[in-house]
Structure 1
Amino acid sequence: MQQEVILASQSPRRKQLLEWAEVPFKVVVQSTDESYPEGMAIAEVPVHIARNKALAVKAQLWGGAAVEAPAPVLAADTVVVLGKKIIGKPASREEAIETLTDLAGQRHEVITGVVLLYGEKEIAFYDVTQVEFHFLTQQEIAFYVDKYKPYDKAGAYAIQEWIGVTGIKSISGDFYNVMGLPVSRVVKALKELEIL
């Protein structure tokens, strides 16, 4: 018996991936604090933020974070990591250009944290994909930033856009994780909870 999932995200990419996987869902979002404790392991950061998103939506819908969730709540958060540094969403054109200049010719990690709340259960995990860019010229970077305006994207790029299609040298791991959701693992978790 398929049950509708509450997607605690307004990301068009996550919506598209769930549609492609034919998972029935509806979107409910609640603004949440995306900060994290100092010293937290990098891979745990997106899980921590995803958990806060899921708990905020659960509290909004059913009146409290401690209440059991009668419908599954799915939240995710994606970070880009270069070396030991988390790269967030760029605040300006200059920051987007600077970020892509740093990523050009380098290998970085994309980590998506996923939290699924249902009843009294929680499934939480993260998925890591290694991405390596070719060297990119300043003209290519400026063209991408000006045309695609990647200000709502961690790492200042979307893999399914021009820069990903033309600029990525190699990927190791789940491609869809870089888009924002390791959707095959999400489907597996939904099956474990007997939602799908």
Structure 2
Amino acid sequence: MSPATSLTRNQKLAALAFVLGVALVYYASHPLLLCRQLIIRDDEALYARLHLGNDLPYAWLTESDYSFRLAEALLQGKLGLTEPPPEWVNETIPLRGRYYSVFPLGSVLTMLPFALAHRLIAFSPSGAAIALIGALATFLFLRFALRCGRNFRDAVWLTLFSTLGTWLWTNTAMGGAWQLALGFAMTGELAA
């Protein structure tokens, strides 16, 4: 009997609520989302209000996900960015008037669905990716713990520790290209 079929209806609903709850925690933990969407919506007003000066790069307050920018370029039929990226996007390589990524193609391809959706709905692609990583990791850790013969309560505790008590949460919540690539790699390893 598989772990999903051995759960009661209430346990299945609790597992769904747990997965969605962790996804919400991951989404809300992104510092950009926390500042921009909950406190002040205007980036420049937020920057001025925090009195950051030049000590802290402006990148902290903006989307700095290189792989998303390049995924958008791929959707336009371009292999690189045609306009010079902002100065904090310093991990691009200029060549013949274009700017190319130092990231592997896989990290760019993982952002294609978010770039497609971003064309239809205005949302933070990094925030959505962070929430997806949180939900997938929670689901996969819970499923793994149940398959190892743990009871539901123990499986929830093991999953809670694995998703909210390790580097996965703190690292992924930053939402940068490197962090998202690591988060997707982790969920891929869990799925395998």
Q: TM-score, normalised by structure 2?
A: 0.27
Which is higher, the Rg of structure 1 or of structure 2?
Answer: 2
Q: TM-score, normalised by structure 1?
A: 0.27
- Greater share of residues in helix: 2
Greater RCO, 1 or 2 (C-alpha within 8 Å, sep 6+): 2
